[in-house]
Amino acid sequence: MLSFAKTGKEPSIEDPLVKLSFAFIKDDMERNQRKYEEKCERLRANARKRWDKKQLDSEASEDMQKHTNVCKSMQMHANAQIAMHNDNVYDNVDVNDVSKETNILEPSKEASMQSFSEKNVCAASEPQKSSEKKKSKKGEIDYAAIKDYWNEQHDKTNSAMRRLTVMTENRKEAIRGRLKDCKGDISKIYLAIDKAMASDYLNAGHSWASYDWVMTRKYFPKVLEGNYDNTKPAASQQPQSAAVKAQDPSATARPSIGELYEQAKHQQPASQQSQDSKFRWVIQQNLADLKKNPNNKPAKDSLTRYYEKGVLQRLGIDWKPEK
């Protein structure tokens, strides 16, 4: 094998078993040699391309420098010609002739046109650095401001979602994508944050509810459209007054589970009533999700937690986890 690797000539082998084994080894060695040569050729071609590009860039910079020097030389020559022309006129002018004296102060039209054209050529050859800087600043996104706004709203609303600690590249990419969807309207980002922080459903302790979830392409438009906004209970769910119940014959009948819940709710403190209303809204959302998709695992897990804590039983909601 060493001899074949150095010379490339196949040695004479008498043993048929060794000869058969060497045939497989030879194929592998030749295949590896071809791969090595192809890699060397590819690297050589890339190096040649880089060298050619470097040569072109250096030649372009030299041409630009020569052009700039020529422009400066032409401008200096034109200024010198104007100065010499003015000196000659002042030497030959008659001091007592006031009308001639006014004409002396004006340079010749040919010199003015020549100087104007040379200035335009030099100005065109210089790069527009200031305009490029303005464009780059205009397209920048203040990611730190978005992170700070999320954390400020989180602290104000005592949100159950996590705070932001680092604005990673993936999060920056998500912001750029959502801005592209909103045609560059940065206010939509802040509006989505406000809606997410104000949503009882997103702040009900779901493990998936987070900043990254809000900024996904699938759920960002839903948050903006108000799919997770808080909804007021319908008029049919409002408690009936005592006068209406007195006129209703069914008021003397055995109260239902919903009526028992309403009676217990009015006997509870205001803080407990507010918390139960929040729980009821979240549970109704979970039940609606299960109705659309019976295999919705986050909704099942949320309802199971409420069942284990006795919230479903206290609110009179008939639902039990599957065994």
Name the more confident of 72 and 96. Answer: 72
How much is the average pLDDT of 272-276?
69
What are the b/e assignments for 23-57, b being 16+ CB within 10 Å? eeeeeeeeeeeeeeeeeeeeeeeeeeeeeeeeeee
Across 27-36, 39-48, 264-273, the highest mean pLDDT is recorded for 39-48
Q: Above 50 in pLDDT, residue 140?
A: yes
In the prediction, which pLDDT does 68 show? 73
Would you state the pLDDT for residue 53? 83
pLDDT at 76: 76
The per-residue pLDDT for 235 is 41
Q: When comparing pLDDT for 238 and 321, which is higher?
A: 321
Question: What pTM value is reported for the model?
Answer: 0.34
- Determine which of 14-28, 242-256, 271-285 has the lowest per-residue pLDDT on average: 242-256
pLDDT score for 258: 55
Q: What is the mean pLDDT of residues 205-226?
A: 92
Amino acid at 8: G
pLDDT score of 195: 92
- pLDDT value of residue 322: 80
Which stretch, 26-35, 116-125, 171-180, has highest mean pLDDT?
A: 171-180
| Residues 119, 174: Cα–Cα separation, whole Å | 47
Closest by CA position to 195, among listed 170, 172, 228, 165: 228
Provide the pLDDT confidence category of residue 61 given band limits of 50, 70 and 90.
Answer: confident
Check whether 80 has a pLDDT greater than 90: no
Closest listed residue to residue 231, CA positions, set 301, 269, 273, 284? 284
* Separation CA 223–CA 195 (nearest Å): 7
Tell me, rounded to whole angstroms, the distance of Cα 26 from its chain centroid.
Answer: 53
- 140-145 long-range contacts (CB < 8 A, ≥24 apart) are 141/172, 141/175, 141/176, 141/179, 141/186, 143/167, 143/171, 143/172, 143/175
* 190 vs 4, residue with greater confidence: 190
∠ CA 22-25-28, nearest 5°, is: 155
Mean pLDDT for the stretch of residues 170-193: 93
Assess whether pLDDT exceeds 90 at residue 75. Answer: no
Please report the pLDDT score of residue 268 as a whole number: 52
- A 10 A CB-CB count for 196 gives 28
What's the CA gap between 88 and 81, in Å, rounded?
Answer: 11
Q: What is the DSSP-derived secondary structure letter of residue 249?
A: G
pLDDT band at residue 173 under the 50/70/90 scheme: very high
pLDDT average, residue stretch 194-223: 92
Mean pLDDT, residues 198-215: 91
**Weakest-pLDDT range from 37-46, 54-63, 159-168, 197-206:** 54-63
Q: What is the mean pLDDT of residues 48-75?
A: 76
- Mean pLDDT throughout 243-266? 52
Cα–Cα distance measured from residue 96 to residue 296, given in angstroms and rounded to the nearest whole number: 105
Phi and psi torsions of 9, nearest 5°: -100, 135
pLDDT of 115: 47
pLDDT digits (tens, 9 = 90+) for 95-137: 444 444 444 344 444 444 444 444 444 444 444 444 444 333 4
Handedness of CA 288, 292, 294, 295 (dihedral sign): negative
pLDDT of 22 higher than 50? yes
